[in-house]
Amino acid sequence: MEKVDLSKVAESCRPDLRIIGGTLGTQFFKPEARAAILDFEKRKVEVERNGNVDLILNRTPRRFRVVGHDILSVQLANGALGDAQVILNKDTEDEVSVSISSDGKTFSNVTEDALGKALTGDKNIIFADAKKLVEKVNVLNYDEKERLVKLREEINKAIAQVDSAINENNKKSKEYYDQLTKGTNPEDTPTPVVVNLPGKAAPASKEVIIVTD
């Protein structure tokens, strides 16, 4: 595959390459999404395996971070297809390839589209405007937090309903056994009244004792 003559590229793109070269020693930024619950998928499988007795969210909440990367080298090189590319931090974990922009905007603008692509795996989308990127990423964090707060309120209501059922059951049990034992305590038993009547004895009740001469 024929490669682009880099010397000719340098001649025709000096202003842009000068701007890109001037980024040496600064940082580029990338957004990333991380799970807020570690080992969530493993836990979800365990819950399903045990018959879904335990409760679990349908997905892990996410936390969105902005990560800064120092620009330690800037190199004009041929890409895999022979085209000219500027490679930042070549042969390191932070290596990225950027296009040579005719308008000098090598770094991506912080748009919804660019942010979405960066969060879904496009490693070559990088940003220079840390402040604007943080604002955009934190909107995602606030949205996720709002979902969690709403879920927490629903869980608190469910807990209150369960507590209410517990209290109701305990009350019913107590009332029932109070009814069974009513009048069996000495203090609940009425004092007998002795009545003397002449002649044949009448039937006696618990409260009245009839005595004949």
pLDDT digits (tens, 9 = 90+) for 138-196: 999 999 999 999 999 999 999 999 999 999 999 999 999 999 988 766 565 556 666 56
Q: Which residues pair with 97 in a beta bridge?
A: 87
Amino acid residing at 84: A
- Pairwise CA distance, residues 20 & 97, whole Å: 12
Q: How many CB atoms lie within 10 A of CB 11?
A: 10
The pLDDT of residue 108? 85
Return the DSSP state at 127: B
The pLDDT of residue 192? 61
Strand runs labelled E in the chain: 27-35, 62-70, 74-78, 84-88, 96-98, 193-196, 208-211
> Which of the four pLDDT bands, split at 50, 70 and 90, describes residue 98?
confident
The pLDDT of residue 124? 87
Name the phi and psi angles at 79, rounded to 5: -80, -175
Query: Are 67 and 96 a contacting pair, CB within 8 Å?
Result: no
> Which of the four pLDDT bands, split at 50, 70 and 90, describes residue 201?
low
The pLDDT of residue 13? 87
Element (H, E) at 109: none
Name the maximum alpha-carbon separation found in the chain.
141
- Pairwise CA distance, residues 97 & 19, whole Å: 15
Structure tokens at 14: 């000096």
Averaged pLDDT, 56-66: 96
Closest by CA position to 24, among listed 106, 108, 88, 77: 88
In order, the DSSP letters of 44-90 are: HHHHHHTTS-S---SS--EEEEEEEEE---EEEEE-TTS-EEEEEST
Q: How many CB atoms lie within 10 A of CB 20?
A: 22
Highest mean pLDDT among 86-90, 143-147, 200-204: 143-147
Asked whether the predicted pLDDT for residue 2 surpasses 90, the reply is no
